[in-house]
Structure 1
Amino acid sequence: MHKFFSNRRLVIIIICLIVSFGLMSVSVAIRNKRSTPPMVQQFGNDVVGLVNRVVAWPVSGLNGSVTGFSDLMNTYQENQRLKGQVQELAQTKVHDQAVNRENQKLKQELKLNQSLTNYTPVTANVIARTPSAWQNQVIIDKGSSAGVKKNMPVLSGSGVVGRVAEVNRTNSKVELLSNSSESANRFAVTITTKSGKTVNGILSGYNHNKNLIEMGNVTSKAKIEKGDKVATSGLGGVMPAGLFVGTVATTGTDNYGLAAKISIKPATNLSELSVVTVAVRQAQTTN
């Protein structure tokens, strides 16, 4: 009897094990077929996802800020580099413009120097020009050491601009044609008309409003027209002959209606002088 109950217990345990394994298999099969996890697992997954988003948001923002700051610094450095290049280009452009202007002036002086066959040309730079005496005089950087002497003609561009009024060893003062004082630049000039006739006169003043040189003491009845050329005549021994002064701009008569009064357009702009040429006679040159 005792043996029967022992065997019965063993059979029950085996049956329980079989049923347990069966239930486990059915549970696994059912869970594999379900598309969604259990409610507890869903809640846990949602909590984990929320925590991940909360942690990831400031980290992502910090990474974006670092990247934006780095891009901003790179942009700033690039702008600074481009500004430096723009400044260099601007400086180069200004320098090139100055060089071109200087080359043009020097070329004009070279053409003028080649025309002064009876003189030794001495090229000089204008080093001073005071606003109060802007129309009266300039200071050049050549003096007696370069052979410059008083009353020598001074030219720029294509014509006469004045004469040497005062000489020092290393610089000189040039009295301009636009000097309207009573004692300034009263040297003789001559007009060559289109018919080939010559008309003599004397430079008598300067019209600042019209930027024209005035010529008086003209007694000839020859027809003078606009555009006739005016040059130094050499009379009086102060200024050598044949130096171009300008062209006739207007003609008329003096206040008494007795003599012709002529206005001359200067060959060179007297307000923009930077390089000039002093015509030194060859016999007066110094070694």
Structure 2
Amino acid sequence: MSDTAIRRALLVGLLLLGVLLATLTRQSAPTLPGEFAARTAPLFGYSFRLGQNVKASLAAIFDRRDLRAEQRKMQAELQQLRQENQRLTLENRKLQAALRVQTVQGLGVVAVAPVIDDDPSGLYRRLYLGAGSAQGLRVGMPVTTASGLVGVITEVTPNNAVVRTVLDPESRVGVRLAGAPGRGIAYGAPPSMLRVEIAPEASVKPGDKVVSGALQGLYPAGITVGIVEQVLPISPGALKKVLMVRPAVQLSLLEEVQVLKPL
């Protein structure tokens, strides 16, 4: 037997002895005659006090154990409440984002999806979402934020989806000038711009807003696409005026997007 075990056994024995002495001296202390009783009285008193102290110590030990157990229980409940609060905060943020899209763009939101990755090859500008058909996503659904148009879903699995963004070289978005006549097509021009071809007669200048405008296209009309940064000179005989447009949404910073009902 180890020294620690021996010490523990001795401590338990002393505690039990103290309790026994306290009980015996209080309930069945003998009546002793004369001088002997006077000499032994302090011993019984010490034994009684020892027993009371031991009982109080044991009670305190068990009380502390109960308090520790209660503290652990309360800490576990507090952790659960914190996790629930985080979940509710995230849900509230998603609902607010969907409400902003509906308020700004007047469109129905199918789902709010997290952005989990982008195209690693650098050849395309595509986003990967942490939501898929299980969350109601389908190929052809427009993807947007309150700031503007992001792209369209081109691939879907049960729990993931791929978005072809407006910057992708394969992207084509029907657009128009906000507040002025002029329709055209916006082409992805990676890494960070759109190339818009519009009628040469259109009156446009840097700073003008470009919005989605094809009534029969993939995207609802009126969603902000970007801001004109440059109007390229028109060469003689050109059939189109070319604009360089900066997208309204900074795709590299997106954490979540709103997926809209398909047209």
TM range (shorter): 0.5 to 0.7
Q: Is the 8 A contact 2:166 2:187 kept in 1?
A: no
> What is the CA–CA distance in structure 1 between the aligned matches of 2:190 and 2:119, rounded to whole Å?
20
User: Could you say which structure has the larger radius of gyration?
Assistant: 1
Aligned: 1:190 with 2:183: no
Q: Say if 1:271 and 1:118 are closer, same or farther in 2 by CA, change over 3 A.
A: closer
Alignment-derived partner of residue 212 in structure 1? 193
- What do residues 153-174 of structure 1 show as CA deviations (whole Å, max 9, x unaligned)? 1113410111111122221100
> What is the CA–CA distance in structure 2 between the aligned matches of 1:256 and 1:248, rounded to whole Å?
22
Alignment-derived partner of residue 114 in structure 1? 103
C-alpha deviation, 1:254, in angstroms: 6.0
| Percent identity between the two aligned chains | 29
> What is the CA–CA distance in structure 2 between the aligned matches of 1:135 and 1:156, rounded to whole Å?
20
Aligned: 1:203 with 2:186: yes
Q: Is the 8 A contact 2:125 2:190 kept in 1?
A: no
Aligned to 1:271, the other structure's residue is in SS state helix
> What is the CA–CA distance in structure 2 between the aligned matches of 1:116 and 1:240, rounded to whole Å?
9
> What is the CA–CA distance in structure 2 between the aligned matches of 1:170 and 1:254, rounded to whole Å?
47
Q: Say if 1:170 and 1:227 are closer, same or farther in 2 by CA, change over 3 A.
A: same
> What is the CA–CA distance in structure 1 between the aligned matches of 2:237 and 2:93, rounded to whole Å?
44
C-alpha deviation, 1:207, in angstroms: 4.3
Alignment root-mean-square deviation, CA: 3.0
Q: Is the 8 A contact 2:101 2:107 kept in 1?
A: no
Q: What is the identity, as a one-letter code, of the residue corresponding to 2:174?
A: A
Q: Say if 1:247 and 1:130 are closer, same or farther in 2 by CA, change over 3 A.
A: closer
User: So what's the TM-score if we normalise by structure 2?
Assistant: 0.57
> What is the CA–CA distance in structure 1 between the aligned matches of 2:205 and 2:92, rounded to whole Å?
34
- What do residues 206-260 of structure 1 show as CA deviations (whole Å, max 9, x unaligned)? 142xx221112x1241210112111111344322212111111111246666120
Aligned: 1:239 with 2:219: yes
Q: Is the 8 A contact 2:168 2:190 kept in 1?
A: no
- What do residues 259-284 of structure 1 show as CA deviations (whole Å, max 9, x unaligned)? 20001111111111211111125xx8
Q: Say if 1:253 and 1:163 are closer, same or farther in 2 by CA, change over 3 A.
A: farther
Q: What is the identity, as a one-letter code, of the residue corresponding to 2:183?
A: N
Alignment-derived partner of residue 224 in structure 1? 204
- What do residues 7-41 of structure 1 show as CA deviations (whole Å, max 9, x unaligned)? xxxxxxxxxxxxxxxxxxxxxxxxxxxxxxxxxxx
- What do residues 113-159 of structure 1 show as CA deviations (whole Å, max 9, x unaligned)? 43343423411001222432485111112222333221221113410
- Please identify, of 142-151 and 170-179, the stretch whose mean Cα deviation from structure 2 is larger: 142-151
Aligned: 1:170 with 2:159: yes
C-alpha deviation, 1:103, in angstroms: 9.2
- 5+ residue gaps, structure 1: 1-99
Q: Number of residue pairs matched?
A: 174
> What is the CA–CA distance in structure 1 between the aligned matches of 2:194 and 2:241, rounded to whole Å?
14
- 5+ residue gaps, structure 2: 1-88
